[in-house]
Structure 1
Amino acid sequence: MKKRIWIPLVIAFIAAAAFFTFAPGIAERDMNRIDGKPLGEVSDGAKALHATLDIVDLHADTLLWRRSMVHGPVLGGPRGHVDLDRLEQGNVAIQVFSSVTKTPTGQNYDSNSADGDNITGLVIGQLQPVRTWSSLLERSKYHWAKLVQAETDSAGRLTILEDNFDLDAHLRQRDARGAELIGAVLSIEGLHNLEGKIENLDVLYEHDFRMAGLTHFFDNKLAGSMHGIEKGGLTPFGRSVVQRMEELGMIVDIAHLSKAGVADVLAMARRPVVSSHGGVQATCEVNRNLDDDEIRGLAATGGIIGVGYWEGAICDTSPAAVVAAMKHIRDLVGIEHVALGSDYDGAVTVRFDTAGLVHITQALLDAGFTTGEIRAVMGGNAIRVLREGMKPLAELPEPATEL
């Protein structure tokens, strides 16, 4: 009789173990895909130029998934779009890693409620610490801990950059040692992880976060999302947060922000503003992409637009479509406002992973961009904005009172 009781328990244990072992990887393979469509030949000239670039990508969601950036996936072959080996193969100098803490059920580009959350199931399914199951702030702190562990495991290949001094030291070391050195900057996809408390912004800063978008796919206490229901502008709390971000040296990211929110941020910005990942209405008429007035306003702050590689950003996945968006920005406001913003590992389908970034270099050459323009697009502009945006102030005022 006892054996009969234990048999179902053993079967249930094996089934649960199999689920938690295999399900997260299966889910990710279905979400972070490469479409397999043809890519053109890369010339020797493009390869030679690419090897000399300091490349910066402004947005990847790699920390969301249960796999090691250093050692690759636990089971199966390569997964997703980014890991340390592929960053080296792509000659990436600096990768911005975003912390995604909540996405709405039924997520779409047009209208989402803040009710429901897809990430909670992923958090539990990936067996993350219990503290992350109900706290968005703890999820970001866990992502920071994952990056710190990756830095430790990398044996010097990966370095978290905390300020402009770290950035410049990293670039000097990379010039001396080559592409095996990669800098990492931490960002946040929506400051709903503040959980309504402005003092938590300082907590995030203490955990090395140096860039943040105000909203993601739903309206929150700071502002409306382009994909929310109300789509309103900055709230008083949101204005206080933007002010504090600029005081601390955290770069303000308007990706996913409502049009009213974008206008409010651009009107009050004192430092360069970033749109970390997306596209432009002129080449891809999707609501999350910037129109020409928004591009001009962002450029007036000295900021940059990171052009993405997936269909929602460029209405295609080809390198030529990426460059078409870049060309529009260049022709409208100048080359100094163009950057890379892949959205790798962000539940998107792309034509190439980070190891294949040379295809963008080739497409830029094909479109007639000069060598100097290519250096600016592929990383020079982003380095300028990171250097300025992460610059610490000599005296930091006390955080604003919570509203």
Structure 2
Amino acid sequence: MTKYRNLWLAGVSLASAATMSAPAALAAPTPEQVAEAALRAAPVWDGHNDVPEQLRERRKDVLAGFDFRDTTRTADPAKDEQAMHTDLARLRKGHVGAQFWSVYVSAALDDQHAVQATLEQIDVTRRLVAAYPGDLQLATSAADVEKAMKAGRIASLIGMEGGHSIGGSLGVLRQMYALGARYMTLTHFKNTPWADSATDKPEHDGLTDFGRDVVREMQRIGMLVDLSHTSEATMMDTLAVARAPVIFSHSNARAINHHTRNASDTVLKALAANGGIIMVNVFPTYVVEETRQWNAVRAGEKARLEALYIGEPEAAAKGLKDWEAAHPMPRGAIKDVADNIDHIVAVSGIDHVGLGGDFDGVGTTVVGMEDVSTYPALFAELARRGHSQADLEKIASGNMLRVMKAAEAYAAAHRADPPIESPTAF
């Protein structure tokens, strides 16, 4: 017995020694580490950034003297202009690997001026990209995006914000595509003659017959259909017509924030069936319900003051300024953006959500996402909530890459189809 007991004790001793000498179990990665790994594997593909609008408003599209490497000192209090949200240094810090630059022009322009202004915005975007060949690379396809990312450059794509940009012409639409535009938002703040906006009085109950042809022709040539800013009727009409995936370049979940330009659960389910993607933005009015409610109360107070001080605009303006000081706008935070993402995932699935910050197109953002450098903080929050690295890679760019490839595949399969024709207006 002693012999066997000694052998047993020796075994225990050896096992203990082995245990003591084995390396300690690796600690689980932190949310920040999961986010970093995801963003290195799949950099952010942002669906909407308004730097071209800033170039038009601030500089009349003149790039001489403009330094896109650092725009942190571009604030001009005399013109009530804050510093821009975007520059090359902060895009790098934010792990942005692909960007849809929005060539937005005012929806108040008539057809001819809207077309001209859109051409000018495409031109300034292409000139900006060409000015920084070491950092930016023009992309007109999914393959271009992958090539740019592999080379360490930021793939730069062009998106038109508002169907008024084509002046009611399918011929103009095709030429915009030839110049590099790869999505078009069907409306902006106002209806077009063929589609209803979310923020205008309904005219068409969604799309007209010509509007359906616009969607068909966009998909035939491979231009992504963007449903941000459209009415729910337009969203559903488009999803009924679409045969390739569509996008929402910068929208949120209506169940979280009831703004009319956000997507309802009904729309989100139809979007999943379509194979499309909704790219979440950071504008508090669209992200946070409390902010939307604040805006409504502010509008009421503004109307009250203007009625109270008829003929005294300065008094009304002072009164509103005093009210705002006493009732600051709730901005929300990163968690509110994550709430929108989580809701979309719950309704549509992880394959149908992405990011479209709307940076440089809005005056304020949620706290913690003040510029394009802040995406890692959002991804850390999502990791903290249990999203895997694989999930985060899909949200960052994997989903958008899949959608664009699917749209291109549909266009390739229909390359022999004749263009949809419509008569000229004059």
- Normalization by structure 2: what TM-score? 0.73
Q: Does 1:398 align with 2:419?
A: yes
Structure 2 contact 191–197 (Cα < 8 Å) conserved: yes
Q: Does 1:50 align with 2:39?
A: yes
Q: Which residue of 2 aligns with 1:371?
A: 389
Give 5+ residue unaligned stretches, structure 2: 1-29, 60-65, 76-81, 289-330
The one of 109, 120, 133 equivalent to 1:155 is 133
The amino acid across from 2:421 in the alignment is: A
Question: C-alpha deviations, 1:140-196, integer Å up to 9, x for none?
Answer: 11111112111221033111111233223223333xxxxxx1001111111111112
Cα gap change, 1:137/1:146 in structure 2, threshold over 3 Å: closer, same or farther? same
Measure how far apart 1:45 and its partner are.
Answer: 4.9
Alpha-carbon distance in structure 2 between the residues aligned to 1:284 and 1:328? 11
Cα gap change, 1:348/1:389 in structure 2, threshold over 3 Å: closer, same or farther? farther
Measure how far apart 1:44 and its partner are.
Answer: 4.8
Higher-Rg member (1/2): 2
The one of 378, 385, 391 equivalent to 2:403 is 385
Q: Which residue of 1 aligns with 2:252?
A: 279
The share of aligned pairs that are identical, in percent, is 27
Q: Secondary structure at the match of 2:250?
A: strand
Structure 1 contact 214–222 (Cα < 8 Å) conserved: no
Measure how far apart 1:48 and its partner are.
Answer: 4.6
Q: Secondary structure at the match of 2:151?
A: helix
Q: Which residue of 2 aligns with 1:307?
A: 280
- Write the mapping of 1:3-402 to structure 2, written as runs, cut at 5 A: 43-66=32-55, 68=66, 70-73=68-71, 76=74, 79-103=83-107, 116=108, 135-174=113-152, 181-231=153-203, 232-315=205-288, 316-350=331-365, 351=367, 352=369, 353-391=371-409, 392-393=411-412, 394-395=415-416, 397-402=418-423
- Structure 1 or 2: larger helix share? 2
Alpha-carbon distance in structure 1 between the residues aligned to 2:117 and 2:408? 23
Cα gap change, 1:73/1:372 in structure 2, threshold over 3 Å: closer, same or farther? closer
Q: Secondary structure at the match of 1:255?
A: coil
Structure 2 contact 252–340 (Cα < 8 Å) conserved: yes
Alpha-carbon distance in structure 2 between the residues aligned to 1:73 and 1:191? 30
Measure how far apart 1:395 and its partner are.
Answer: 3.1
Structure 1 contact 210–250 (Cα < 8 Å) conserved: yes
The amino acid across from 1:381 in the alignment is: N
Q: Secondary structure at the match of 1:278?
A: coil
Alpha-carbon distance in structure 1 between the residues aligned to 2:247 and 2:169? 24
Structure 1 contact 310–317 (Cα < 8 Å) conserved: no
Give 5+ residue unaligned stretches, structure 1: 1-40, 104-115, 121-131, 175-180
Alpha-carbon distance in structure 2 between the residues aligned to 1:355 and 1:326? 19
Cα gap change, 1:76/1:329 in structure 2, threshold over 3 Å: closer, same or farther? closer
Measure how far apart 1:379 and its partner are.
Answer: 1.3
Measure how far apart 1:262 and its partner are.
Answer: 1.0
The amino acid across from 2:342 in the alignment is: K
- Normalization by structure 1: what TM-score? 0.77
